[in-house]
Structures are given as structure tokens and as C-alpha cells.
Chain A
Amino acid sequence: MIVDRSDEVPRLKWPRRFPVPRNLGVAVHSRIAEGKSWPAPEGATRIATLRIYRFDPDGMAGPRLDTFRVDLDDCGPMLLDALIWIKSRIDPTLTFRHSCREGVCGSCAMTIDGTNWTACTRAMADLAQPAMIFPLANLPVIKDLVPDQSHLFAQYEMIEPWLHAETPAPERERLQSPRERAALDGYYECILCFCCTSGCPSHWWNGDRFLGPATLLQAWRWLADSRDEGRGERLDALEDPFRLYRCHTILNCTRTCPRGLNPGRAIAEIKKKMIERQG
């Protein structure tokens, strides 16, 4: 019942999702239909069933849910291994992003059994049966498991994630004590996978204007950097009932970060800074 680390898989089998019809309140073009079902490979003894969201932008149909059966003795231990196995053995049209296969690039972030994580660090043994593999929540889908993150990156760009310094660059480094450098720990490690933002209910309802935990965590990364000289302007840009203050400390973000970071804490620190400059 008590979760210590974000990489702990939920233990309760129910509820995996709100017990409502899958297409309740969903726009017509986003409704998910039942898709194809592929048989288990011959001679396979250990089989895992994956139900994967599919969408073909070149076709006329809407999204569907395909069922694949993976031979666990024939592929690697992680979900990404299974997806690559499916693409090479069963259906070459299955489309997903992946790169480092070790949890440091953020490309393979997706909604796995109802929570966001990177596929390369989610073990097949930790999946439900059947596993539900969806693209990251609440994003336009380009194809299959590939979401359109251009709005999220535009929000990130808006907070100007680079050093604001009028002091000319010194001969060597801009100096920072070990303690000042430690203030960046827990924030600089963000890989911009957007698992947190995609899992934030406030971003679901107000994602147009609310920046979301990933962008706000990075905003704090720059606010906390002792070398940065633009703290005031950064806070001015966040002084808005929607950009920052749609955060109601729901904390789905901290629960789901595949890197174990804490966007909730970062946002609380930003709010404290906003108060600090008022009095």
C-alpha cells in the first residue's frame, strides 16, 4: 500500500482503469474499435498477450486495439524487446519510437497498463495479462504508439531553457560551489519523456495553457541554477493562473516518473519563490 519508489509496479489488480466504457465521452475520431487478433506462435510455451493501440493515418479507419501473443522464450525480458519482436516476426507495420533501450533517452515512453513508463525499462514479468499498451495519454496520435509532442516541446521552449546571463562568459567555467551544483540534482536528469505531463489530470483538462510538470520541473532547474541571472523574468512568465497555478498537487507526476524525479517538489519550490518575492 505504501510506495517507496516510482519504479514499483502497482500491486492491486483492480481497478486498472475507471470502470467506464472505453469510449465514454471520447470524440468520434478518437474512439477505439476492436482490431485484429494474431495467434500465438507455434510451439511457444510461455506466452504473453499484449493488446496494443493501433492507428493508421494512411487508412480510412479510426484507432483500434490489436491483440498480439508474444513468445517470451524468443525475445528479451523488457516490453520494448517484445514490441521489436512483434515488429520483426508478426506485424512489420507496428510503429513506435525507441533509441537507447536503457531508459535514458525517453523515446519509448508510453501508457502501459494505465500508467506512463518507458517500454525499455518495463519488464514483461511486471505486465498485466493481457497487457494494455497505449500511446502516451491525451496526445494526438501520429501513428500507432507515436504521439505528437510538438505542443509539449513548444511549452518547453517557451520557458527559455538556457542560461540567461548578461555577465560575459569568463575565460573558463562560470564557477559554482558543490552546494550550488547540488541544487540542480533531481532536476537536470530529466530526459523529457513527458510521462509526467501526459499523466497529469490538470494537463488533460487545461493542457493548452497549463505548462505541465515536465516543463515546470525544467523551469525550476533554471530558477535553481546559481549561474542564471534571469530569475525575475522567469518568474514573471509563470505568474499566471493557468501556466503555473493549474497545478493542484495531484502528484501523479511524481508517481510516474521513470527517472525517479519529483516534479511535484519542483513546482512547490517555484510557488515558494513566487511568494518570496511578494513580501
Chain B
Amino acid sequence: MTIRHIPPFARARGLGAAGHGTAHWWAQRVSAAGLVPLVLWFALALAGGAAADHAKLVAWLAAPLNSGLMILLLMAGFHHAALGLQVLAEDYIHSGARFVAVAAIQLACFAGAVFGIASVLRVALMP
């Protein structure tokens, strides 16, 4: 096995500063702040029986306020999840597979949000 002798200063410098990182950190905090009331609303609504059966679910999401909040929850939730899982991948995957994982996470969360929103709209518009 070859031992690579990289001078400490070269190893510390790496490829230089990427020039971004703050936007990701800020977006995580903003989505978190938005999620606090949205999640509480959702938990209380479900506990109050808003989706005990199909008829109740349709009636609940027929109100524009509820379907609107549900869509906001899905958007903020999947955005926050995507950012958080990206951090996870960056932390633990050290090979080039990291980039594949980050891309997969972004795509999966985007798809999840789209499917969720499409379903909310479908239920909201059910007769």
C-alpha cells in the first residue's frame, strides 16, 4: 500500500474554500422556523380526528386553509428533510459516492413533495 506524504499545510488547505455554505445553513433554519407551527397544527389536527376516516379526510382538506397548510407542511418538511439528509451524506460518505447520494436525496425529496401536494389537491377537489 502506497503511503502518500502530503505536507500538513497542503492537506489543511485542500481545494480551497468552496464559496458557499451559508445559504444552505440559513435555508435549514428558515424551514425549521416555518415547520414549528405547521407540525404542531398537523399533530393537533390529526389528534382531533381530522382524518379518522376517508370522509373526514375529504371534508378536512376541502377547506382551503387546511389544504393550504398541508401543502406548506409538505414543502417546508421535504425541503428541511432534503437539507438535513444532505448534511448526513456529506458527514458520513467520504468517497465520490457522496455526490450520487446527495443527488438522489434531492430528487427523492422533491418527488415526495410533488406526490404529496398532488394528492392533497386531488383530495381537496374530490366531490
Direct touching of A and B (C-beta under 8 Å) = yes
Give chain A's interface residues, CB within 8 Å of chain B: 150-151, 153-155, 157-158, 202, 205-206, 208-209, 236-246, 248, 271, 274-275, 278
- Chain A positions within 8 Å of B21 at CB level: 239-245
The one of A208, A246, A248 in contact with B14, judged by C-beta atoms closer than 8 angstroms, is A208
Chain A residue at minimum C-beta to C-beta distance from B7: A154
- Chain B positions within 8 Å of A245 at CB level: 21-22, 24-25
Chain B contact residues, majority secondary structure? helix
User: Are B18 and A241 interface neighbours, CB within 8 A?
Assistant: yes
B62 to chain A, nearest CB (A): 39
* B8 on interface, CB distance cutoff 8 Å: yes
User: Are B11 and A154 interface neighbours, CB within 8 A?
Assistant: yes
Give chain B's interface residues, CB within 8 Å of chain A: 8-9, 11-14, 17-26, 87, 90-92, 94
User: Are A240 and B91 interface neighbours, CB within 8 A?
Assistant: no
The one of A153, A157, A239, A248 in contact with B22, judged by C-beta atoms closer than 8 angstroms, is A239
Q: How far is the CA of A275 from the CA of B23 in the complex (A)?
A: 8
Q: How far is the CA of A274 from the CA of B20 in the complex (A)?
A: 10
- Chain B positions within 8 Å of A157 at CB level: 9, 12
Chain B residue at minimum C-beta to C-beta distance from A246: B91
User: Are A237 and B25 interface neighbours, CB within 8 A?
Assistant: no
Given A240-B17, A245-B21, A154 contacting B91 (CB threshold 8 A): no
A90 to chain B, nearest CB (A): 35
